[in-house]
Amino acid sequence: MGSLNAAKPKDALSNSNLLFLIAVVIFVLMYGFAILRYPGSFLQFQTFFDLFNLNAPLIIITLGISIVMIGGGIDISVGAVTGLVTMCCAVMLESEMGSVGGALLLALGIGIAFGLLQGYLISYLEIQPFIITLAGMFLANGLLTTIHKDPLNVTLSGFVVLRDFEIVIPWLGTHNRLGNFIPLEIKPGAVVVWVLVIILVILMKWSRFGRNLYAVGGNSQSALMLGINVRKTKFHSYLLSGFLSGIAGFVYIMTTGAGNVGNASGFEMKAIAASIIGGTMLTGGVGNLFGSPVGSLILLTINELIRAAGVNSNYQAIVSGLLLYIFIVLQSVVVWLRGRGKFSLVLPSWLRLGRKEVEDQG
């Protein structure tokens, strides 16, 4: 009996995994309701995959926000940086020296530059992250409107081929209302999302950086006493967020085919909301990166349900705000109950962070 009791805390769900599991259950129930209520739309595989095809940049930004929030920080510049990257890529692709490879390098360079600047100011000069990233948002928005004020369609032949490229899966297709068979189509952006999810989950679960980031977010003073370089860890989290913003900007223009002043407007708020709904806590130290796409899918499914019902689009923001309130309160309740030892559910080992001391931080 003693051995069973000793093993129980080790295998019990961490806060990170418990909040992630709650988000998954809510998404499954919500999407199941959507299928039952509007089977003509949501029962099609294409509708589900379009959530990734059309919203890949938002999901990528959410991954970056989640990493920063796990470390106890915040980055509200990601939407503006993504918009700046998109416009800069559009201008370059339409120039005489335009090339797809050059645009990709430009996108990554801009994202990394913002990550380096903001990460250094926050981590090494210890300036409040909200203030620094707010300044970064203003800077990126100012540069965006200075570079090009009007929408800019990209007509470069090599880019058009990339924009129109699709992975076709015929056996998951459906018949439309006219009886014509439409195969399932997956855009490159959706593939980029899942490649990034897998890489980042592995990074956060098995790398020293991932373990250190959870420790820093949980309690930076304790992490410092354990010999963790807190400043370096925080710096790398902002650098990674900037890098992902660069990727999101390139995926955005690859999805829309144009640069626009309104590109990625408000993405930072949607990403923060999706991250919280997916199980990442604003206080730091708690989060599962699998929850980032799940949180995004919950918000996107709400929007699709409202559109399918023919309700005024203003209700999307209202419902999203109420849902965010609910999840913030739910997270607080879960952490409080967790502290009292109320949960003992078990997930497969591949979803756990891999070390008991790291789970204790979550």
User: Would you state the pLDDT for residue 178?
Assistant: 65
Q: Is the pLDDT of residue 277 over 50?
A: yes
pLDDT band at 20 (very low <50, low <70, confident <90, very high): confident
The token duo for 76 is: 């509200």
Over the chain, what is the mean pLDDT?
84
Write down the pTM of the prediction: 0.88
pLDDT at 5 over 50: no
Rounded Cα distance between 297 and 83, Å, is 21
Q: Does the structure show a pLDDT above 80 at 176?
A: no
CA distance 179 to 210: 50
Residues 240-266, mean pLDDT to the nearest whole number: 87
Distance of CA 57 to the CA centre of its chain: 8
Chain centre to alpha carbon of residue 330: 20
Q: How confident is the model at residue 200 (pLDDT cuts 50, 70, 90)?
A: very high
67-120 per-position pLDDT tens digit = 999 999 999 999 999 999 999 999 999 888 878 999 999 999 999 999 999 999
Which pLDDT tens digit goes with each residue over 107-165? 999 999 999 999 999 999 999 999 999 999 999 999 998 887 778 888 888 888 988 88
How much is the average pLDDT of 181-195? 89
Domain boundaries, the chain: 2-361
Tokens of 35: 């299928």
Contact 103, 93 (CB under 8 A): yes
- Each residue's pLDDT tens digit, 28-71: 999 999 999 888 778 888 888 999 998 999 999 999 999 999 99
Q: Which CATH number fits domain 2-361: 2.30.30, 3.90.1580, 2.60.40, 1.10.3470?
A: 1.10.3470
Q: For the residues 246-250, what does the mean pLDDT come to?
A: 95
Confidence of residue 349 (pLDDT cuts 50, 70, 90): low
pLDDT of residue 359: 45
CA distance 279 to 75: 17
Structure tokens at 289: 């990166």
pLDDT at 342: 57
